[in-house]
Amino acid sequence: MTADETMREIAKQVTICEKCELHFSRKNAVPGEGPVNAQILFIGEGPGFHENEQGRPFVGQAGKFLDELLTHAGLKREVVFITNVVKCRPPSNRDPLPEELNACGNYLDKQIESIDPWVIVTLGRFSMAKYLPMARISAIHGKPAWVGDRLILPMYHPAAALHQPKLKSDIIADFVGLPKAIEQAQKVRKINLEPIIAETYQTSSATESPEQLRLF
Ligand code: URA
Ligand code: SF4
């Protein structure tokens, strides 16, 4: 199977999945969307009200803010892949339970394997915990870390940051610093960027962050 076929197959399975309790209350499962050859993967928490209605990730208020954040990072939404740790909406947007994360984790793992992104931006605690289980988000947000051969960029969850002025300015600063963090990382690993990413840097408004540069 090609990566594209695998991704379609995963999306098909997710749509009819009954592996955890979340299937009882969902209207539409949300497998995720974006190009299969994306170099950057964004992982959120789980669908909210509007995502459940439309079957698409980050289309509500948090999604509008994510769009704004992507602009700060000089990234077009069409070039990144966006998904969640659980593909069905937790009732009343409660946190996903360990057994739900467990049941759904296999879909996410298969998506990551097929897309094979070298940068993963985690949005919120649950996707961060997949890669950096001992970390506190308040201590490491915006700071890139290599996990195997993938660069993990832990960010606050846009929905959490939206209404808290301190977190909001932090998450905006973290997204502004994202291109620089990626650029530094790719120099270290001598990764050749595809033109689409190079273009991203040229259009980015990012300024150098001395704190981030010291990490490499
Ligand atoms: N919040 C998330 O974590 N994911 C979505 O898709 C929408 C809101
Ligand atoms: Fe299946 Fe994941 Fe939906 Fe649970 S959340 S029913 S495991 S697709």
CB atoms near residue 100 (< 10 Å): 20
Pocket of ligand 2 (CB under 6 A): 14, 17-20, 22-23, 29, 86-88, 100, 103-104
Average pLDDT of the segment spanning 71-90? 97
- Lookup: tokens for 68: 């704004």
**Which CATH fold would you assign to the domain 37-191?**
Uracil-DNA Glycosylase, subunit E (3.40.470)
Residue 44 Cβ contacting ligand 1 at under 6 Å: yes
Residue 209 has pLDDT above 60, yes or no: no
For residue 185, how far is its CA from the centre of ligand 1 (angstroms)? 27
Residue nearest to atom 3 of ligand 2 (CA): 88
Percent of the chain with pLDDT over 70: 88
Average pLDDT of the segment spanning 159-188? 93
Which amino acid appears at position 14 of this protein?
V
Going from N- to C-terminal start, the domains of the chain cover 37-191
In this predicted model, what pLDDT tens digit does every residue of 138-153 receive, in sequence order?
999 999 999 998 999 9
Percent of the chain with pLDDT over 90: 82
